[in-house]
Structures are given as C-alpha cells and as structure tokens.
Amino acid sequence: MGAVGFDGLVLTIATSNVNGIRAAYRKGMGDWVATRTPDVLLLQEVRAPDSVLNDLLDGWHVAHQASDIKGRAGVAVASRLPVHAVRVGLGRGEPEPPVDTGRWVEADVELASGELLTVVSAYLHSGVAGTPKMDEKYAYLAKVTERMRELAAGPHRALVAGDLNIAHRNVDIKNWKGNLKSAGFLPEERAYVDVWLDEIGFTDLGRRHGGEGPGPFTWWSWRGQAFANDSGWRIDYQLASPTLAESAVKVEVDRATNYEGRWSDHAPLVATYDL
C-alpha cells in the first residue's frame, strides 16, 4: 500500500470502467487486481449494490454511489490507504435526477506524509447526438466543470479520473473522420475538455505520457474486429491538478493481450506517482 521510493511515496492509481463488476470478476478482474496491486482503484459502471462491491473488495476502504436506475452506471473509489472524507454526486445538497446518479464520487485519501489527496471516480453520460440525452450530458458537463474549478482552487492535490465518454482529439479515436457527428466526439463536448486542461489547469496524463498518438486507446467495441484491429477510442482519463501532474512518473494502458483475455470492453488506465 504505497511503496516507498527514493523521493517519497510511490502510489499506484488505476481507473477502469468494469462494465459490470460481477461479470468482470467472473472474467478475471480479480486476478488483474491481485497482480497489479493498485493502492487506489477507481471504478465505473459498477452496476451492483454495496453488498456485492464490499464482498468483492474485502479489505479495501470503499466509497460507492450506485445509480438510481437499476442496472446502470455506478462509480466507486476503493483505497488501501485511509479515507478521511467522501462526497457523492454533484447535486450540491439537492436530489439529483436519476440519470445523474452513479456518476461522481470523491474521496480524500491520506498519504503516508499525512497529506490528503482528493480522488474522483467519474462516469460521464455517453449521450446520443441530436436527442434529449445530449442535453442531459451537456448539463452534467457544466456541473463537472464547476466542480473541477473548485478542486483546482482547493487545499489538496486532486485527480479526476474515469470514463469521461469524450475523445478529445483526432488522435484519440481511430475512425475520427467517420465520427465527427457522433456523441463522444462532438466539438461541443471536446470544448469542455479544452476548458478543463487549458483554462482550469488539469493535465491529461494519458496523453502526456502516451506520446502524440494515435492512441493509446482504452475502449474497443465487443463487436467485429475492433479489438484485433485496435480500432478504439481513448475515453478513459486521469486528469491531474498541476502539482499532482508533476509527480506522475509512468502511465500505462493495461490492454489485454488477446480478445479472450478481456474482462471489460475498456482497459484499465494505470498511473504511478512519486509523491
């Protein structure tokens, strides 16, 4: 739980959309967790009640927000380090619409130094272009942007991570020309990411450490030859506040070696920090 490096604490944080945690564990997610040994695990599309999540992650400190819509969404922060505070959702004390639940959970994790690190597991709406679902997504993106401004100005280093369902640049999607009018790659969506990075000051660690692209992608359709042809999207992120970003020493996509080895349609994004 946080190896000691030359300069301080080496912390491993992994994020993954598990596409249903019960199915993921049946397909081998538990073996991956045991081998990878992350200190903090950020999960999206959990799609399970607290009891199931706590059984599967026995021994972890778990913060979880299930969706009010059964069988949908669900986000969690699981930590081997102590957790001091948990904040759920972006309703600001008001009830959230059911479609907005199971999408945002924060935890303040205590590092060995005593410093608190705020980590967020986020699962943003996928949306459907030209429908009310896109209006829901844009309304939620506005809430996310407001909260990210607060985190950037807050007292702790912060990480916003998860399945954000937006490919930021052309290099973040294999078939970008064919998806210019598709949800997840609309100019209006991508502009929010511009604000998070260029105006608020978060750093996209996947791109910073992943080179100029294309890729590395984090999601591939189950259908056809998408995975075999690496025809994917980069929609899973670790967005770090400025001082946290400087401590990131390695960022990797744990892409399965073959189709049969996948336990989700997403691959985990794993970052190592020397704090």
Return the CATH number at 118: 3.60.10.10
Range of the domain at 228: 3-269
Q: Are strands 9-17 and 61-65 parallel, antiparallel or unpaired?
A: unpaired
What percent of the chain is predicted at pLDDT more than 70? 97
Which comes out higher in pLDDT, residue 3 or 27?
27
Q: Is the pLDDT of residue 186 over 80?
A: yes
The CA-CA-CA angle for residues 129, 130, 136, to 5°, reads 75
Residue 9 has a pLDDT of 85
End-to-end CA distance of the chain: 13
Q: Is residue 64 part of a domain?
A: yes
Element spanning 107, H or E: strand 104-110
Q: Would you say residue 223 has pLDDT above 80?
A: yes
Q: What is the pLDDT of residue 12?
A: 98
Q: How confident is the model at residue 2 (pLDDT cuts 50, 70, 90)?
A: low
pLDDT above 50 for 174? yes
d(CA 229, CA 70): 34
194 inside domain: yes
Are 40 and 56 a contacting pair, CB within 8 Å?
Answer: no
- In this predicted structure, the answer to whether residue 5 has a pLDDT above a threshold of 80 is no
For residue 274, being part of any structural domain is answered with no
Domain assignment present for residue 179? The answer is yes
Peptide bond into 216 cis (omega under 30): yes
Residue 257 lies in a domain: yes
Q: Which of 38-42, 92-96, 262-266 has the lowest mean pLDDT?
A: 92-96
pTM: 0.96
pLDDT tens-digit readout, 61-85: 999 999 999 999 999 999 999 999 9
Q: What is the pLDDT of residue 72?
A: 95
Q: Give kind and range of the element (H or E) at residue 274.
A: strand 269-274
Q: Domain tally for the chain?
A: 1
How far is it, in rounded angstroms, from Cα 145 to Cα 128? 20
Is the predicted pLDDT of residue 6 greater than 70, yes or no?
A: no
Residue 43 lies in a domain: yes
> pLDDT for 112-134, tens place per residue?
999 999 999 999 999 999 999 99
Task: Indicate if the pLDDT at residue 46 is higher than 90.
Answer: yes
Residue 228 covered by a domain: yes
Q: What average pLDDT does the chain have?
A: 96
Residue 275 lies in a domain: no
Position 93 scores a pLDDT of 87
